[in-house]
Amino acid sequence: MVTADEIRSFALSLPETEEHDHWEKPSFRVRSKIFAVIQPDGVSLVIKTTKEDRSAYTMMDPDVYQMPDSFQNLAFMIIRLDRIHPQECRNMLTLAWSLVAPKKVVKAFNGAISS
């Protein structure tokens, strides 16, 4: 199981990420744009995505990726932290981060990883 502390540690390692309270829950943002929110249940993480990716992930593995009815018009989905592999979770956090971070920052980050 991926823990909230692991989420926090990894999210804050991504460039320009800051942690802020969001309705009494820890959220991770780049320039005030949210890309992840740890839920109080300890097993759910709301992450930014595209509607197309959300549809694919929730169909591919509905035990891990979920979309509540209230998210219908939002580009976010829920990841079950007790059912996702840690590396896959890190990949999903990085993808969510890349959707809100400035393109120049994402490009520099991806270039640093490739080197």
Range of the domain at 25: 4-102
Residue 28 in any domain: the answer is yes
Residue 15 included in any domain: yes
Angstrom distance (rounded) from CA 101 to CA 29: 9
**pLDDT at site 6:** 97
Determine, yes or no, domain membership for 115. Answer: no
Q: Report CA Rg, the chain.
A: 13
Does residue 68 belong to any structural domain of this protein? yes
The HSE-up count of residue 49 (CA atoms within 13 Å, CB side) is: 24
Domain count, the chain: 1
Residue 37 covered by a domain: yes
In a domain, 32, yes or no: yes
Residue 94 neighbours by CB under 8 Å, 6+ apart:
14
| CATH number of the domain bearing residue 32 | 3.90.1150.30
pLDDT at 27: 98
Q: What mean pLDDT is reported for the chain? A: 96
Task: Kindly give the parts of the chain with pLDDT less than 50.
Answer: none
Evaluate whether residue 107 is within a structural domain.
Answer: no
The confidence score (pLDDT) of residue 113 equals: 75
Tell me the C-alpha distance between 25 and 110, whole Å.
29
**Model pLDDT, residue 111:** 87
The answer to the question of residue 109 being in a domain is no
